C-alpha cells in the first residue's frame, strides 16, 4: 500500500468511526453550535484531503474499476441495511449509515478517475469547468433541473446517496434513543468531479497543492452559507472557479481552443439564461370568496329571486362540530 492509499483509507475510516461515536458523545446545548461547526470543518477538510491524497497517485484501469465496484457495493449494502433491516433506527442504523458513507467517496474517486482519463490535455479543463458550473446551477436552482425536482419529490434518495454532514446530539444518546443527526448533504457528483479535477492537475503537473489549500476554506465558507440560509447551492460553482483561478497561468490555449471555449461559454450562458427564466414567479393572492360571490350577484340580481339558497357545505359543519361539541 502506497502512502496515498494509506492516507485515503485513514481519512475515510476515521470519519466512519466519528459518525458512529458522535451520537453517544454528550455535548451541552450551550456549546452545541460551536461543536457542530468544528465537526463541519473536520468532515469537510478530511473528506477533501482524502480525495486529494488518493488522486496524487496514478491509478490504472484495474484500480479504477476495483474502487468503483467496491465503493458501490459498500455504499449500497450500507443503505440497504439501514432501510430494510434497521428501518433508520437504533445503533444498527448508525453503523449502517457509517458503512454507506465510507463507500460513497470510494466509488466517487473511481468514477472521477474514469472521467479524468478522458482529458487528453490540460487546456480542456477550462471548457469543462465552465460547462460544469453552469450545468450545476441549472440542476440545483432551476425548477426544471433534476436535482431541484429530486429535492422536492424524493429528498430521501438524495440523502441516502449524498455525503452527509453529521452534527452533535445535545446531551448525547443512549442505545435506545440514538438517532442520526445530520446538518446537511453534499451531492456525489461534487465528489466525483472534485476527484477528476485533482487527478487531472496531478497528471498534467499543475498546482494541485495550492488548489487544495485554496479550496478548503472556500468550500467551508460556502457550506456555512448553505446551513445558515437553508438555501441549496451548487457546489461545483466554487470548485470549478477555484480550479480555474489557481491554475490559470498553466493554460496556454491556441486560437482554435479559444474559439471552442467561447462556444462552450455561449452554451453555458444559454443554460444560465434558461435557468433564470424558468424560475417560478410568486402567485398573485386570490380574492376572498365573499368578494367573488358579491360580484357574481351584482351581474345577475334575479338569481336571488329565482333560486333557493343552498345550505352551507357539509364539510365545514362537520369540522365546526368536531371542534366545539364533545364526542
Q: Please indicate, yes or no, if residue 312 is contained in any of the structural domains.
A: no
Domain contains 288: no
Task: State how many domains the chain has.
Answer: 1
CA distance 256 to 230: 43
317 belongs to a structural domain: no
Angle between helices 188-203 and 236-247 (to 10 degrees): 10
pLDDT in tens, 65-120: 999 999 999 999 999 999 999 988 888 999 999 999 999 999 999 999 999 999 99
Who has greater pLDDT, 168 or 303? 168
> Of residues 185 and 172, which shows the higher confidence score?
185
Q: What is the pLDDT of residues 238-266, one digit of tens each?
A: 999 999 999 999 999 999 999 999 999 99
> Measured between alpha carbons, how far is residue 88 from residues 94, 97, 160 in Å?
8, 9, 11
Residue 73 near residue 67 (C-beta atoms within 8 A): no
Of the candidates 304, 290, 26, 298, the one whose C-alpha atom is nearest the C-alpha of residue 169 is 26
Helix (H) or strand (E) holding 34: helix 32-54
Structural domain that includes position 191: 3-277
The answer to the question of residue 296 being in a domain is no
The position carrying cell 461543536 is 35
Of 167, 148, 72, 138, the closest CA to residue 273 belongs to 138
pTM, full prediction: 0.80
CB 216 within 8 A of CB 87: no
232 contacts 149 by C-beta, under 8 angstroms: no
Do the domain assignments include residue 94?
A: yes
Q: Using one digit for the tens of pLDDT, what is the confidence trace for 134-172? A: 999 988 888 877 777 777 777 777 777 889 888 887 655
Residue 287 lies in a domain: no
164 within some domain: yes
Tell me whether residue 315 is in a domain: no
Give the least confident one: 88-92, 139-143, 279-283, 322-326: 322-326
Amino acid at each position: 500500500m502506497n502512502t496515498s492509499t494509506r492516507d485515503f483509507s485513514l481519512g475515510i475510516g476515521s470519519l466512519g468511526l466519528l459518525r458512529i461515536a458522535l451520537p453517544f458523545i454528550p455535548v451541552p446545548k450551550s456549546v452545541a453550535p460551536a461543536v457542530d461547526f468544528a465537526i463541519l470543518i473536520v468532515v469537510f477538510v478530511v473528506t477533501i484531503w482524502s480525495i486529494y491524497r488518493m488522486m496524487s497517485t496514478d491509478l490504472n484501469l484495474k484500480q479504477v474499476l476495483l474502487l468503483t465496484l467496491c465503493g458501490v457495493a459498500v455504499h449500497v449494502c450500507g443503505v440497504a441495511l439501514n432501510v430494510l433491516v434497521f428501518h433508520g433506527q437504533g445503533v444498527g442504523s448508525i453503523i449502517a449509515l457509517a458503512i454507506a458513507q465510507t463507500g460513497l467517496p470510494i466509488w466517487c474517486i473511481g468514477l472521477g478517475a474514469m472521467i479524468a482519463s478522458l482529458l487528453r490535455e490540460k487546456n480542456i479543463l477550462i471548457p469543462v469547468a465552465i460547462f460544469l458550473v453552469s450545468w450545476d446551477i441549472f440542476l440545483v436552482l432551476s425548477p426544471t433541473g433534476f436535482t431541484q425536482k429530486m429535492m422536492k419529490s424524493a429528498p430521501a434518495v438524495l440523502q441516502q446517496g449524498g455525503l452527509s454532514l453529521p452534527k452533535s446530539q445535545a446531551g448525547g444518546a443512549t442505545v435506545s434513543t440514538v438517532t442520526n443527526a445530520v446538518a446537511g448533504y453534499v451531492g456525489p457528483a461534487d465528489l466525483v468531479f472534485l476527484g477528476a479535477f485533482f487527478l487531472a492537475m496531478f497528471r498534467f503537473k499543475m498546482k494541485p497543492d495550492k488548489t487544495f489549500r485554496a479550496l478548503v476554506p472556500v468550500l467551508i465558507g460556502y457550506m456555512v452559507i448553505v446551513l445558515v440560509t437553508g438555501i441549496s447551492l451548487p457546489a461545483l460553482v466554487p470548485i470549478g472557479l477555484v480550479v480555474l483561478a489557481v491554475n490559470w497561468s498553466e493554460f496556454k490555449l491556441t486560437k482554435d481552443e479559444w474559439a471552442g471555449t467561447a462556444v462552450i461559454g455561449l452554451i453555458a450562458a444559454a443554460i444560465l439564461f434558461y435557468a433564470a427564466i424558468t424560475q417560478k414567479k410568486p402567485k398573485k393572492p386570490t380574492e376572498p370568496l365573499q368578494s367573488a360571490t358579491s360580484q357574481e350577484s351584482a351581474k345577475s340580481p334575479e338569481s336571488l329571486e329565482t333560486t333557493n339558497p343552498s345550505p352551507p357545505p357539509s364539510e365545514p359543519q362537520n369540522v365546526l362540530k368536531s371542534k366545539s361539541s364533545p364526542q
